[in-house]
Amino acid sequence: THFGFQNVAESLKESKVRDVFNSVAKNYDTMNDAMSFGIHRLWKDQFVQQLNPGKKSIFSEPMTILDLAGGTGDIAFRMLDHARTVNGDPETRVKVVDINEEMLREGMKRAHGLGYRTEGEDAPISFLVQNGETLEAIPDNSIDLLTIAFGIRNFTDKEKALSTAYRVLKKGGVFACLEFSKVNNFVLDQIYRRYSFSVIPMMGQLIAGDRDSYQYLVESIVKFPSQKDFARMIQDAGFQLAGKGWQDLTFGVAAIHTGVKL
Ligand code: SAM
């Protein structure tokens, strides 16, 4: 607005998101398993398998992947593992970018535990604190594949994040987003809503000692646009959608959206 109220609200939201993920960082992986009965692992596996990261032949270049809002590295480790074991490519690299240092710190611990180097130009995995809406340290047209899993719904300005993703991708580069979405079955939707509004905040209290952060997460899922509206936003940022632009997972509890920069 003319009076800047919107900006105040938005910056409040940004610091709130930072607080939420600061307080959940240590328990983040345990909570994900508990809340989704481990299903988030299957969704993440499917997401990465479909994207099939890595060199496809000895003539192609290794990929530069940016995993935005990458947190503790769940997607990044799957990418590296897939490139190596499925495509025999140890050169493909992943940059894990997140606004929250605590989440990245957990990710870095995991990387070292798995024996990955994280420092140096040629490190297979690196961690970078950045606001995904601007990605100031990432040059234009430099990324082959940009992924974001369960991240964009926390962004204050989603349109800005999408046009930034477009900016940093090379021509022919792929944007892929895995996110909670709208359940496409009426009965399941009722059960799911009841579960998320009562059980998840309670689990947050019991497992992580933090009810409010998990209440916030549930609310952010409800507020996120439908599959179709989000596909339109991706298109508006300049991407070409593949088919209708998304694929539902588990009756739309989550969805994968993809777009290509032509
Ligand atoms: N992608 C990981 C996964 O699937 O396990 C982490 C998802 S976690 C639910 C959401 C992440 O988004 C948090 O690590 C949070 O810090 C990050 N995030 C929120 N707003 C962000 C922003 N503006 N820029 C970059 N990361 C952001």
ipTM field: 0.99
Which class does domain 5-181+226-260 fall in? alpha beta
Structure tokens at 164: 């930034």
Q: If you measure from the C-alpha of residue 241 to the centroid of ligand 1, how many angstroms do you get, rounded to a whole number? A: 24
Please tell me the pTM assigned to this model: 0.91
Alpha carbons 236 and 219: distance in angstroms, whole number: 25
End-to-end CA distance of the chain: 35
- Over residues 83-141, the pLDDT tens digits come to 999 999 999 999 999 999 999 999 999 999 999 999 998 999 999 999 999 999 999 99
- Over residues 228-252, the pLDDT tens digits come to 999 999 999 999 998 999 999 999 9
Distant-in-sequence, close-in-space partners of 66: CB < 8 Å, separation ≥ 6 = 94, 95, 97, 135, 138, 143, 145, 146, 147, 168
Testing ligand 1's pocket by substitution, the residue of 19, 39, 51, 100 carrying the most ligand atoms inside 8 A of its CB is 100
Q: Is 147 in the pocket of ligand 1 (CB under 6 A)?
A: no
Q: Ligand 1, residue 71: give the atom nearest the CA.
A: 14
Strand order from edge to edge, sheet including 240-249: 125-129, 93-98, 64-68, 143-149, 169-180, 254-260, 240-249
Q: Ligand 1, residue 132: give the atom nearest the CA.
A: 24
Q: Ligand 1, residue 156: give the atom nearest the CA.
A: 23
- Among protein residues, the one with the nearest Cα to ligand 1's atom 9 is 150
Distant-in-sequence, close-in-space partners of 7: CB < 8 Å, separation ≥ 6 = none
Q: Is 17 in the pocket of ligand 1 (CB under 6 A)?
A: yes
CB count within 10 Å of CB 150 equals: 22
Alpha carbons 14 and 6: distance in angstroms, whole number: 12
Q: Is 169 in the pocket of ligand 1 (CB under 6 A)?
A: no
Give CA torsion, residues 52, 57, 59, 60, to 10 deg. 0
Q: If you measure from the C-alpha of residue 103 to the centroid of ligand 1, how many angstroms do you get, rounded to a whole number? A: 8
